[in-house]
Chain A
Amino acid sequence: MTRTKKKPVSVAKAARTTIFYIFVVGVVVALLLPFYFIVSLSFLSTREAYEYPLPMVPAINTHFKLERGKRGNLLSVYDRVEGGYETVLDTKELQKMSDYMKYQLATPMTLEDIEQQIAKLETQDVVYFTRRRNLLSNYQSFFGVAGSEAVPALIRSLQICALTIIISLSIGGMAGYAFARYAFKGKDLLKFSVLFVRMFPGVAIAIPMLKILVGLNFYDKPIGLSLVYSIGNIALTIWITASIFMGIPESLEEAAQVFGASKARAFLRVTLPLALPGLAAAAMYSFLGAWNETVSAIILTQFNPTFSVIVFKTVLGAVGQVNLAAAGGMAMALPAIIFTFFIRRYIRQMWGGVTI
């Protein structure tokens, strides 16, 4: 549709392009807005997270005001939403003040520092000071409080993901190759396997699976969950790898065979290197599936939960700590988003080849 007319057309075209871009930006804003808020929330201090309306951007500094109070020293904090100082604490105890700053305001101050500021009250009525906030405070407390649990769970989750990738890429990849290159009986059945394995609810499989895993002595171990996750992932990997192998002309392999290479060698030397980026994308898809799964993980773990289970519990249990829940959610989302960034180019290849 290349029309070569003169300027009036190009004006109309420019207008159309502009409208198109406005539309695209609108879609992006709608997509990312909820996401922005959870990111922002994960950086807010506990005090800020319970304000209404919520601050739209996390503060970098906290502004303090110190006066003499009835019971001791009166601490006020600048409130960006209200636009003034709000009294938060009246106490003599330095430790209490320090704790409040650390846990509620995410602005840690040493006791000496606080003491120095209080000392200034000898000469002034009001002391103003500003301290840098600890922006990562929620993440630190998520990994610290959710405890010694979060880090081992993270490692376990990564092990599960690695095992799932190995299982589904080897088993699924072989079938995907067969699907792309051969005509054989039962090919359609293979194609519909993606649907079949999804028709039976995953939760429902998890319960009988519990017995099977206990029997294999795999219960509550990374390999057990990766076996469960591979069920769905193998089917998806067959589709994706089949599409990828279909995209690589068979004639290349045949050419290699003409030059004396065996079928296996032709595959290893010609097709596999060409398929490698696409296979990596398929592997990342498996990673996402295994990383994000929560429900089977809840049922099939006992003392060794996965990272998603920890986050799930924090989110549900942290009704009193929304900023902590947000930090946990973000810690969970970040690897998924990074991996998505790498597979975005293969989307067309992945979904283009096999359809129902």
Chain B
Amino acid sequence: MTAIARRNGKTWKKIAKGATPFLLVLPVVLYYAAFWLRPVLSSIIASFTGDAGQFTLDNFALVFHEEDFVAAVKNTAIIVVFSVTLEFLAALFLALLINRKFKGSGLFLFMAMIPMALPAAAAGAMWITGLTAHGWLNSLLGYLGILAEGKKIYWLVGSNAKLLATLIIIDAWQVIPSVMIILLAGLQNIQEEMREAGYVFGGNYLHVLRKITLPLLKPTITTAVILRMISAIQIWLIVVFLFGYSRLPVLLERVVFYTKEARGLYIADQMAAGYTLVVAAIVSLAALVYLQVSGAFKREKEQLT
């Protein structure tokens, strides 16, 4: 009897032990079911629902036929491709250079974090006041003698290409430091001995970088790039701050436009719902493709086995 009881106790303990991680994770699951999955599902359902409550694909037809749709996709694609590439390369370059202990490295890190800590409203205020014809950027260029007296650069008007360039540079200012910090953290977790071994075997800096540092940094790079890519596709607030609605349409800006600005329009809800799903689909697809190409899923399996 006692032996059975003891054995029962043991199995219970074992089960309890096996259940611990699930109990710890349970609150997250419940929370996401209630406050993420539920709104997401109703958002998806809304995108397939017509104004009479029937199932329909009309919302997407409306979206695809909207005059700004093609422009929005094109602009978003340009922003994502150029800004993610530019920001990643610049951040990697900076991180490799800064990756050493130097006097004031703590202070430097703090200052690098300021742009990313800046709230969107503050960043918007900063660039609006800076980029208008009478703004501080032109003033500064004037003081430095780069801009002749009485001349002004009109940053916020002109061709789409010019506006996109302005936007990408501004975005880079805010984002490069944060990407750099993630990469820097990854670099500092690589053991110094690894790289030293590379040098001992006669490798030069570029060899060691290509064969040792970058491969070891790859998981961090994947993390940094994918987080960056996801938020780059969802860019909109700074666009609206600088150019207003509809001047330089991007995908998420259309969602907000139909949600908040075009309330009077009778198809506004359907447009917003349709655009939402389009954005979500594009983000998910891009993220999955990137993870597949970068081999993150493969790495996952290796770790498990």
Whole-angstrom distance between the Cβ of A99 and the nearest chain B Cβ: 25
Q: Is B161 an interface position by the 8 A CB rule?
A: no
Is the beta-carbon distance between A199 and B120 smaller than 8 angstroms? Answer: no
Flag the segment in A88-96, A109-117, A146-154, A173-181 that touches B: A173-181
Known: A238-B28, A355-B220. A228 touches B35 (CB 8 A): yes
With A56-B143, A315-B124, A356-B226 known to touch, is A203 a contact of B256 (CB < 8 Å)?
A: yes
- Is B139 on the interface with A (CB-CB < 8 A)? yes
Cβ < 8 Å to B, chain A residues 126-149: none
| Cβ-neighbour of A294 out of B27, B118, B121 (below 8 A) | B121
Tell me, rounded to whole Å, the shortest Cβ–Cβ distance linking A109 to chain B: 28
1/0 per residue B258-291: CB within 8 Å of A? 0110000000000010001001100110010001
- Among residues of B, the one whose C-beta sits closest to the C-beta of A37 is B136
- Judge whether A316 and B241 touch: CB under 8 Å: yes
Contact with B along A282-309 (1 / 0, CB 8 A): 0000001001101100110000000010
The answer to whether A340 touches B227 (Cβ under 8 A) is no
B156: interface (CB < 8 Å): no
Cβ–Cβ contact B121 & A308, under 8 A: yes
Whether the pair B119, A198 counts as a contact (CB closer than 8 A) is no
A325 CB contact (under 8 Å) in B31, B35, B43, B129: B129
State whether the Cβ of B96 lies closer than 8 Å to any Cβ in chain A: no
**Distance A193 CA – B32 CA, assembled complex (angstroms):** 10
Q: Quick one: CB contact mask for B170-189 with A, threshold 8 Å, 1 for yes?
A: 00010001000110111011
Using known A-B contacts A34-B173, A333-B122, determine if residue A53 contacts B115 with beta carbons closer than 8 Å: no
At the interface, is chain A mostly helix, strand, loop or mixed? helix
- CA–CA, A328 and B129, complex, Å: 13
Q: How many residues of B contact A (CB 8 A)?
A: 90
Nearest chain A residue, comparing its CB with the CB of B34: A212
- Whether the Cβ atoms of A182 and B117 lie closer than 8 Å is no
B57 interface contact, C-beta 8 A: no
Are B42 and A294 in contact (CB-based, < 8 A)? Answer: no
One of B108, B136, B255 near A54 (C-beta < 8 A): B136
Inter-chain contacts of B300 with A (CB < 8 A): 188
The reply on B109 being an interface residue by CB < 8 A is yes
Chain B binding surface, main DSSP class: helix
- A356-B256 contact, Cβ under 8 Å, with A27-B94, A200-B40, A227-B35: no
Which residue of B has the minimal Cβ distance to A324? B125
B28 & A171 in contact (Cβ 8 Å cutoff): yes
A352-B188 contact given A52-B139, A178-B24, A312-B121, CB 8 Å threshold: yes
**Least distance between B36 CB and chain A CB atoms (Å):** 5
B127 interface residue, CB < 8 Å from A? yes
- Residue B51 CB within 8 A of the other chain: no
- How far apart sit A308 and B121, CA to CA, in the bound complex (Å)? 7
A326 lies within 8 A of chain B by Cβ? yes
**Are B125 and A201 in contact, CB atoms less than 8 angstroms apart?**
no
Specify the chain A residue showing the minimal Cβ separation from B46. Answer: A208
Q: Is B12 an interface residue (CB 8 A)?
A: no
Residues in A whose Cβ lies below 8 Å from that of B173: 30-31, 34
Which residues from A are CB-within-8-Å of B28?
A: 171-172, 174-175, 190, 193, 234, 238
Q: Which residues of A contact B102 (CB under 8 A)?
A: 20-21, 24
Residues of B within 8 A of A (CB): 20-22, 24-25, 27-28, 31-32, 35-36, 38-40, 42-43, 46, 94, 97-98, 102, 104, 106, 108-115, 117-130, 134-136, 138-140, 142-143, 173, 177, 181-182, 184-186, 188-189, 196, 199, 219-220, 222-223, 226-227, 230-231, 234, 237, 241, 252, 255-256, 259-260, 272, 276, 279-280, 283-284, 287, 291, 296, 300
Q: Closest 4 A-B residue pairs measured CB to CB?
A: A329-B125, A355-B219, A53-B139, A329-B122
Known contacts A186-B25, A234-B28, A347-B181; 20 additional CB pairs below 8 A are: A20-B102, A24-B104, A31-B115, A38-B125, A56-B139, A56-B140, A56-B143, A171-B31, A177-B24, A178-B25, A198-B230, A207-B43, A299-B259, A299-B260, A315-B241, A316-B124, A340-B110, A349-B185, A351-B223, A355-B220
